[in-house]
Structure 1
Amino acid sequence: AGKVNRVPDLVLTAGGTMTGRVCDHSGKVIEGAKVVLKQNNKEIAQTVTNNEGTYSFKNLKSGIYQVGSGNTDGVFRVWSEKTAPPSAKEHALLVMGENGARGQFGAVDPTLVLLTGGVIAAVVLSAIAVSEINSVKDTVNQIPISP
């Protein structure tokens, strides 16, 4: 039994726009990365990521697209807003491989795209810290104060 190759579903936003982000294996966004869009192995567009590592391609129709940057290539099934399945995400994420290794790709929610790599860890840590602080405060408040 071979491995099932799942193609991530993406939904196009206004104007048939496909958006995504390019980051390295540690989650750091890559500015100025060339991103190539292909359909049926034929290049149909290319762009460069901005200072937030994001890219977009406009005026697309539903279909299967290949998105590539450096050593990372991903295949995405792209849907219009009206026909997209509920599981379709709004961003195509390309994670570059380390030292020339092949990278990974996937589809993510926009909120997750903003919280890549270390930022997610920082958010999780700060949430834990706040709950620990509150629990310490409760404990301190319960200590009887002697005159």
Structure 2
Amino acid sequence: MAANQPIRTAQSTAGKFTVTSTNISPGGKIADAQVYNSFGCKGGNVSPELSWSSAPAGTKSFAILMHDPDAPTGSGWWHWVVYNIPANVGSLPAGAGDPKKSLLPSGALQGRTDFGDPGYGGPCPPPGKPHRYYVRVYALKVEKLEV
């Protein structure tokens, strides 16, 4: 079941940039709340709460990516893409990945995932080996990515 799959969060190796979550933990299990709610999975499809601090000097914006490198597609599976998060923002609440809720900070955008739409799409791997999920927060030197 997808809720039993491990998740890993990434932190910058430069300086003290730290990423934390009340919903997920490095090497932990994914809660049903974060699991996708289609393709045979019955989770809540709620994006996790994320917080970050001590961004590198010169940070002008942030981006968040969630990726499953173990998906049998040749390039993995992109579950969440958020960019143009203003530099003065240090967290996103749970559920911010739902475009209908308007919980992202002003100016932040969500990119299309491998589910075909913008917004968070939780884990829902096929039966078999556990999948790894990497949630990465990037501190960027530009205010906006023109995507």
TM-score (normalised: structure 2): 0.31
The structure with the largest helix share of the pair is 1
The structure with the largest strand share of the pair is 1
TM-score (normalised: structure 1): 0.31
Higher relative contact order at CA 8 Å, sep ≥6: structure 1 or structure 2?
Answer: 2
Larger Rg: 1
